[in-house]
């Protein structure tokens, strides 16, 4: 790291990340909010629309992201659960759970480890054999959760309702040129897709060289594995796989300089 940590790039929008990193800014550090991906809804076929419309026929409704929550409720605008309804609602982490509860829906299951593996672990304690599970999620999702639940005997319907694509960034984008002019000291990536988006936007053919002498933070182990696959050596992960956990890690890096 050259001349200490002064500039931190976060591949999220200011709206979604500003609260977590406010105390870092208060230390006089520059935060660059540069989302590299955007989400778009997918066209659903008749079977997929039927699965979503008949959500009450399922035993479990599982959300793996706040975006999944958004696009699900865009489609199922009249969602309601009666006291007699058997369905349990699960969320991969606190932010996803907040997005569900914002709509007045109680979340029954949240894992301690905010990942597909953590969610699978906690759900494995349920009697899953013969249970029907609905997972409305990103087309970019890994199959760890779906396959793991099937191995436990559950009947899983995975419905891809949106996908992540690289954000279209023009050559005169202010943040783009700021990053090109002065490379940040710390890079924060919040998903493998956010990494791919960054590489595409900046046309990076040698990420190992580009990120050398910089700290690279992955929000969780899935993103960490993807960065390691690119042979980026200096990857760190927070104890808690959230933006708050990332901000705490950044703060520790800054404090260790002193």
pLDDT number for residue 153:
96
Instruction: State the Cα–Cα distance between residues 134 and 113, nearest whole angstrom.
Output: 21
pLDDT at 233 exceeding the cut of 90: no
Average pLDDT over residues 185-214: 95
pLDDT digit string, tens, across residues 220-229:
989 999 999 9
Per cent of the chain over pLDDT 70 is 97
**Could you tell me the two tokens for 12?**
């999220």
> 7-36+167-257 with 40-163: one CATH topology?
yes
pLDDT number for residue 1:
41
pLDDT digit string, tens, across residues 70-110:
999 999 988 776 666 779 999 999 999 999 999 988 999 99
Instruction: State the Cα–Cα distance between residues 142 and 158, nearest whole angstrom.
Output: 11
Any idea where the domains of the chain sit in the sequence? Answer: 7-36+167-257, 40-163
pLDDT number for residue 3:
62
Nearest Cα residue to 217 out of 255, 181, 179, 252 = 252
For the domain spanning 40-163, the CATH number is: 3.40.50.10090
Element (H, E) at 186: strand 186-189
Cβ neighbours around 12 below 10 Å, total = 23
On whether the CB atoms of residues 32 and 179 are closer than 8 A, the answer is yes
CA pseudo-torsion sign 219, 221, 222, 228: positive
At the top level of CATH, the class of 7-36+167-257 is alpha beta
pLDDT at 206 exceeding the cut of 50: yes
**Could you tell me the two tokens for 167?**
């954000």
Q: Model pTM?
A: 0.85
pLDDT at 113 exceeding the cut of 50: yes
- What are the b/e assignments for 133-152, b being 16+ CB within 10 Å? bbbbbbebbeeebbebbeeb
pLDDT digit string, tens, across residues 3-55:
689 999 999 988 888 888 999 989 999 999 999 999 999 999 999 999 999 99
């Amino acid at each position: 790291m050259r001349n200490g940590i002064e500039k931190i790039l976060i591949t999220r929008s200011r709206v979604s990340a500003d609260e977590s990193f406010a105390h870092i800014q208060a230390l006089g550090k520059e935060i660059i909010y540069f989302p590299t991906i955007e989400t778009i809804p997918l066209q659903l076929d008749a079977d997929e629309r039927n699965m979503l419309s008949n959500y009450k026929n399922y035993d479990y409704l599982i959300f793996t992201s706040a975006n999944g929550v958004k696009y699900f409720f865009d489609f199922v605008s009249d969602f309601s659960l009666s006291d007699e309804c058997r369905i349990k609602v699960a969320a991969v982490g606190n932010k996803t759970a907040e997005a569900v509860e914002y709509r007045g829906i109680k979340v029954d299951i949240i894992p301690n480890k905010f990942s597909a593996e953590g969610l699978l672990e906690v759900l494995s304690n349920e009697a899953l054999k013969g249970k029907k599970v609905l997972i409305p999620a990103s087309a970019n999702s890994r199959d760890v959760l779906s396959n793991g639940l099937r191995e436990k005997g559950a009947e899983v319907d995975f419905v891809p309702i949106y996908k992540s694509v690289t954000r279209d960034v023009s050559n005169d984008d202010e943040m783009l040129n700021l990053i090109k002019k002065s490379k940040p000291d710390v890079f924060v990536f919040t998903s493998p897709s956010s990494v791919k988006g960054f590489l595409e936007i900046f046309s990076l053919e040698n990420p190992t060289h580009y990120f050398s002498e910089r700290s690279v933070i992955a929000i969780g182990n899935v993103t960490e594995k993807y960065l390691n696959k690119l042979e980026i050596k200096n990857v760190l992960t927070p104890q808690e796989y959230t933006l708050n956990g990332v901000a705490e890690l950044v703060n520790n890096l800054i404090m260790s300089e002193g």
